[in-house]
Amino acid sequence: MAFLGKAWRFLVGVKDALVLLLLLVFFGALYALLSGTPNAGQIEDGALIVTLDGSVVEQPESASPAELLSGAASNAGQIRLRDVVYGIETAAKDERVKVIALDLDSFWGGGQVALQDVGNALEKFRKTGKPVIAFATAYTDDSYLLAAHASEVWLDPMGMTFIAGPGGTQPYFKGLIDKLGVNVHVYRVGKFKSFIEPYTRSEQSPEAKAAGQGLADALFSAWKADVKAARPKAKLDSYIANPATSVAGGSFSKAALNAGMVDKLGDRIAWSRRISEIAGKDSDAAADTFRGTEFADYMAAHPFTPHGGKVGVVTVAGSIVDGEAAAGTAGGDTISRLILDAVASADLDALVVRIDSPGGSALASERIRLAIMEAKKAKLPVIVSMGNVAASGGYWIATAGDKVFAEPATITGSIGVFGILPTFEKTSAKIGVSGDGIATTPLSGQPDILRGTNAITDQLMQGGVEDIYRRFTGLVAAERKLPLSRVEEIAQGRVWDGGSARQLGLVDAFGSLDAAVAEAAKRAKLDPSKVRPLYLDRIPSWMELLAQDWFAEEPATPARDAWSKAILRQQASMATGLEDGLHVLSGPAVQVRCLSCPSVPRQKARDSFFKTLLSKVVS
């Protein structure tokens, strides 16, 4: 009996401890929620401090509670594009905001279309007569695309403006595949040779290089046109063409100043004093401060609320995958459920599909397209808005739109299908492993990873790929009102810039997400000037919110000088290419994914790659 009594007291103690722990978690979360949400009264007159630490993305990636608790989640910062645009446009009408302090010192970058949207928002702010004053220790392509829209561009005297233009190397896996002894069975449709080259060659084919050069030139032309319109007095062409000549005097910062690329040379303290001339400053404040409000606090005090009729916006961002997926990845089940539920609720007047994706699973792409078709069956206008990339599976989804908007710098097309089946007969032979067995049909045990595929499997796989390609081109021909023969000419896995895509009839018009929302409102017989979109986003669970609030790390501060930024970006490009390549190999056997689309380097991919490499070296 004494033992049972002790056991009972132990169980009661465990119960009390768990109850106490739950209470602490509850009140801690409540305190964090109340203390972390400012109100409009806390906004200080002066500057809006827009510190872009990280990347501007269409939809930030979210980490699961398990990743946050284990520390596996990346600490790379991501800023949602629509938040930046909405915050700047709101500040333009706010009398308390006198100036925007645009801090680009730790800016990582973003897609060209996304950055042009931010630049347009900065222009709207300036048109109200209020200045935008930018600062960075070094400007690279992405940060300068934003800084060009500022009233004053400040550069640290020890810094430089480093314009490299699009281009660089991408990983090719043929050598690694051969060394590992992996036999990659590739099934494809389309004559465009770069469609699957990373897995079949060790270098670019001349045809792929020529096509890639054409795409890069088109994107860089759009970049230069944007910068020249914002800073017509800058000697942009000569500065880019002769960077060594520009710094012949030895001072990178003075070269940028002399070329009109920047307006002022000064350190962070000098920049802060300039802003304080407009925003004001407390008498007892430090030299590098001024009156103002941090962007996150300003956004919390001015939450986005839809009104004037409900135009729903669903976002398809990242790789398109089967099943459920968190934000930043386009899960076929997740996105289709958002659309179907919104349509079933009869709560929408129109639907806008915002796409920023290189594609992925053919099945998931079709699942999302079919959900959009249900919206059309319910008589809802459906407008597609393309962001940085809307290619392959992303374009498959776009075919459902009544009207398709893109930008000149949008990357789209890549109408093609491929299949990949890795087998390991050569690898297993190297380590003395063989395979044998029985069969009842030609497909027994297929695809055989130990002995390779047989002729019947190869025939069926190729036939399946060709069938999906016929479906893809048929969709494009029917929805875009193009002859199938014409679609065959412009498909073949070829990637197009937005300008070319419009000429080819793959998109209807140039325009931002706002233009797409306005078009949807018009078709729904609503006043576009009074309509704000209703974003159809997956709502995180309370556990995800709690884990994010308590365990998410602050973004690491990257190096700020130009050469270090360039090296970090190249490292991220390599890691991103490797991550995407492995994702393709481990993904579904049949995919509608753009392999030759230039992707924005992800700091998360770089951090993960070097953490893995370091762990291997240490072990």
Annotated catalytic residues are 193, 392
Which residues lie below 8 Å from residue 144, measured CB to CB, with a gap of 6+?
Answer: 161, 163, 227, 261
Strands of 107-110's sheet in order across: 78-80, 54-57, 107-110
Q: How far apart are CA 532 and CA 305, in angstroms?
A: 7
User: In whole angstroms, how far apart are CA 237 and each of 233, 242, 270, 409, 426?
Assistant: 11, 9, 29, 19, 53
**DSSP state, residue 199:** G
Cα distance from N-terminal residue to C-terminal residue, the chain: 52
User: In one letter, which amino acid is 455?
Assistant: A
Q: CA angle, corner 132, sides to 127 and 137, nearest 5?
A: 150
Q: Kindly state the tokens that stand for 556.
A: 């690491």
User: In whole angstroms, how far apart are CA 170 and each of 105, 192, 216, 303, 570?
Assistant: 27, 18, 14, 40, 10
Q: Kindly state the tokens that stand for 519.
A: 């078009």
Question: Which of 277, 593, 564, 582 has the alpha carbon at shortest distance from 415?
Answer: 593
Parallel, antiparallel, or unpaired for β 132-139 and 97-103? parallel
Q: How far apart are CA 275 and CA 271, in angstroms?
A: 6
